[in-house]
Amino acid sequence: DVQLVESGGALVQPGGSLRLSCEASGFTFSGYWMSWVRQGPGKGLEWLADISEDGSERNSGDSVKGRFTISRDNAKKSLYLQMNSLRVEDTAVYYCARSSGFNLWGQGTVVTVSA
């Protein structure tokens, strides 16, 4: 099956760090740009960052620039999001998605930032 499976979500205190993972299967992972998108409670979708097929190019949104870092390991067919200096407002469901029009999404992993 073609799928993306996120993991790593947790309850973390403000100022803390967390690393999310996304494992791909059923397609040629190394042939696609990949993205992270989040959705706060009762809110809309917010694109966070994307990364090129070989990891040489990255883009990120203003709300996470300097705090979150996207990376990938094509040998492991995995995408990562390193999140530092977490804030309460980072509480959300975090999705990984295939960037080709976001035509494939994972089920999401929940990150809760709270004291």
Q: What are the residues binding another protein (CB under 8 A)?
A: 35, 37, 44-47, 50, 59, 61, 95, 99, 101-108
- Minimum CB separation of residue 16 from another protein in Å reads 25
Distances (CA, A) of 106 to 6, 68, 78, 101: 6, 19, 12, 14
Residue with tokens 């990938």: 72
- Minimum CB separation of residue 60 from another protein in Å reads 8
- Minimum CB separation of residue 14 from another protein in Å reads 26
Residues in the chain: 115
Give the dihedral of Cα atoms 35, 39, 40, 44; nearest 10 deg: 130
Q: Which is nearer to another protein, 16 or 91 (CB)?
A: 91
Q: Which is nearer to another protein, 50 or 90 (CB)?
A: 50
**Residue 88: strand, helix, or coil:** helix
Q: Which is nearer to another protein, 16 or 47 (CB)?
A: 47
